[in-house]
Structure 1
Amino acid sequence: MDPAIFYSDVMIITPSPTTSSPDNTMPSLRLLVAASLAATIKAQVIDLGTALPFAVLAGEAVTNTGLTTVDGHLGVSPGTSISGFLPGTVTTPSTKHSADAVALQAKLDLVTAYDSAAGRLSTPLTGVLGGRTLAAGVYSFNSSAQLTGPLTLDAQNNMHSVWIFQTGSSLTTASSSSVTLVNGASACNVFWQIGSSATLGTNSVFVGSILALKSITASTGATVNGGLYARNGAVTLDSNGVRRQACAGTPASSIARR
């Protein structure tokens, strides 16, 4: 089998040496070309624009049950309904935005970010995500994706490593499943582009920004280090913790000062 070199979202096949290249010049040249391509074709951070400081953003509604804590802005547009806060809380200086100019612009930027994530070249995956360790890259599932246990994202000591996961339909995480970051990986650089809706299981530990075309449901006790962005539908919360980590770009407090 020919050896394969994986660079982020690109796979380059390098042929084995043949009698037509006794000094291995051609394979060496191909390796140099592969390295050059790897430097330019790789997973890039999705630009969330003004949606970046939002921990929760929905197109239709945001509903909450229980003592949810949202550390980051919470918004809805063009819908207007935000319910369950109180008993849920939005941590100061973050604020709520219901169909105002800030929420409208954030929603427009979310649409752009979703389309950007969906359009990236990717490496196809099959099976479940639980039990895997993945290096940075763009990964795709033709239909749904399931996280059934622990998923480890390994930055291999590169703090700029980026992961983008694309699904043709839904994302479902099992109860008590988890995403773990190691060797310099950052929640700011993990993105999940979901073709329909996402459901996070009870007491699951999730990392990254979910960009769902429809809705997002966080079951009881699920925690998120990242953001929940439902483009057209609702975000439903139940005694959760959602923390929008301060990432490069718009400071988390900038919208509150407008």
Structure 2
Amino acid sequence: MFRLSSIYLTILICAVVIAPVKVLAAEATVNLGSTANFAILAGSTVTNTGSTVISGSAGANVGVSPGTAVTGFPPGTISDGTIHASDATAILAMTDLGTAYDDAAGRSVTTNLSGQDLGGMTLTSGVYKFDTAAQLTGELTLDAEGDPDAAFIFQIGSTLTTANASSIVLINEAQYCRVFWQVGSSATLGTDSSFIGHIFAMTSITATTGAEIQGQLLARTGAVTLDSNIITNGVCAAVTPPPVVVDEEDEPDEPTETPNPPAIVTPPAVVAPTPTPVAIVTTPAPVAVDVAADADVPQTGVSNSSGLFIGLMLLSVAGVVAATRVRSKAR
């Protein structure tokens, strides 16, 4: 029983260790297309009162389409753009606005905030939905948690209203060019309020006296109305990859020269001399032949050389006979 329990415990631990961990990625930004060059874009009219200033490195164009009326410049000023009244540029921008609006409206919802006031909240990257109206009273904080690419998307069923002197604060590398407000009808920004983000309104947008906006005011079918506002449509700061920090203990050692190993001298192999075979010549013992002193030795006609040859033959025969006798005695 104890052994089975140990096995089950081991399996459980392995399952916990091996189970994949789901990491939530930051919400992707919305593609603005050609609308990125417009600080103000309206479907019917653009009307300004007072000393509104429109600028921005991304583009400070003011456009209208299919309407044609843009009034109040001057006294309003446009420092980094021009007015496009139902020309090809404005028509294309209005088409791209529709695409951006649909993109923001179609994102999967992270949190439904219906019925709640955005004031006092701190929100991280995600998609936040209001079934009907949304309002901001006080301060809203958007926290990118160190990711400058983090996007914040708000889906609002009907109207967006910000109170007087309300504000939006960005922290931990959050950037205003990645904050989007998709509004089902109209948006109204309160007096002396500070607003951040791109507003995509189906109908109209009104910025009351002294409201400051970092972003864009884009209305698909109705009017954009301004009153002594400061509107800045800038470019997000370039995202620089974080430096790779290497612990000194993990740094590889500086390469050092490897000393050459000492030469190993191999002594020559000692070869035992091969003994030279020695030819052993056995000299046969001389054979004594008794010849009578007075015996006549017949003279032959054999020459000296022939005699020498015969003598050698006799000596060889005598040697063979002597060797035979020795072997016989040995037996």
Letter paired with 2:32: L
For 1:166 and 1:64, locate their aligned partners in 2 and report how far apart those are by CA, in whole Å. 27
Letter paired with 1:25: A
For 1:167 and 1:190, locate their aligned partners in 2 and report how far apart those are by CA, in whole Å. 14
Does residue 154 of the first structure (1) align with residue 154 of the second (2)? Answer: no
* DSSP 3-state at the match of 2:12: coil
Does residue 97 of the first structure (1) align with residue 84 of the second (2)? Answer: yes
Does residue 184 of the first structure (1) align with residue 178 of the second (2)? Answer: no
For 1:203 and 1:239, locate their aligned partners in 2 and report how far apart those are by CA, in whole Å. 10
Of structures 1 and 2, the one with the larger relative CO (CA 8 A, separation 6+) is: 1
Does residue 49 of the first structure (1) align with residue 28 of the second (2)? Answer: no
Does residue 60 of the first structure (1) align with residue 44 of the second (2)? Answer: yes
- Alpha-carbon contact 2:45-2:222 (below 8 Å) kept: yes
Give how far 1:70 is off: 1.0
Q: Which of the pair has more CA radius of gyration?
A: 2
Call closer, same or farther: CA 1:81–1:152 in 2, change over 3 Å.
Answer: same
* TM-score (structure 1 length as normaliser): 0.83
Structure 2, unmatched stretches of 5+, are 1-8, 239-331
Letter paired with 1:133: T
For 1:28 and 1:230, locate their aligned partners in 2 and report how far apart those are by CA, in whole Å. 50
Q: Equivalent residue for 1:81?
A: 69
Does residue 22 of the first structure (1) align with residue 12 of the second (2)? Answer: yes
Corresponding residue to 1:111 among 98, 118, 136 = 98
For 1:167 and 1:152, locate their aligned partners in 2 and report how far apart those are by CA, in whole Å. 18
Letter paired with 1:172: T
Corresponding residue to 1:204 among 168, 193, 202 = 193
Does residue 245 of the first structure (1) align with residue 245 of the second (2)? Answer: no
* DSSP 3-state at the match of 1:85: coil
For 2:179 and 2:44, locate their aligned partners in 1 and report how far apart those are by CA, in whole Å. 24
For 1:46 and 1:74, locate their aligned partners in 2 and report how far apart those are by CA, in whole Å. 21
Letter paired with 2:221: N
Give how far 1:183 is off: 1.1
Give how far 1:218 is off: 0.3
Runs of 4+ in 1 over 3 A off after TM superposition: none
For 1:202 and 1:45, locate their aligned partners in 2 and report how far apart those are by CA, in whole Å. 29
Q: Equivalent residue for 1:175?
A: 164
Call closer, same or farther: CA 1:134–1:89 in 2, change over 3 Å.
Answer: same
Q: Equivalent residue for 2:327?
A: none
Letter paired with 2:15: T
Q: Equivalent residue for 1:12?
A: none
* DSSP 3-state at the match of 2:70: strand
For 1:213 and 1:239, locate their aligned partners in 2 and report how far apart those are by CA, in whole Å. 24
Structure 1, unmatched stretches of 5+, are 1-18, 250-258
Q: Equivalent residue for 1:219?
A: 208
Letter paired with 1:181: L
Does residue 231 of the first structure (1) align with residue 215 of the second (2)? Answer: no
Q: Equivalent residue for 1:134?
A: 123
* DSSP 3-state at the match of 1:86: coil
Call closer, same or farther: CA 1:65–1:157 in 2, change over 3 Å.
Answer: same
For 1:208 and 1:181, locate their aligned partners in 2 and report how far apart those are by CA, in whole Å. 11
* DSSP 3-state at the match of 2:13: coil
* DSSP 3-state at the match of 1:232: coil
Give how far 1:155 is off: 1.0
* DSSP 3-state at the match of 1:52: helix
Aligned residues: 224
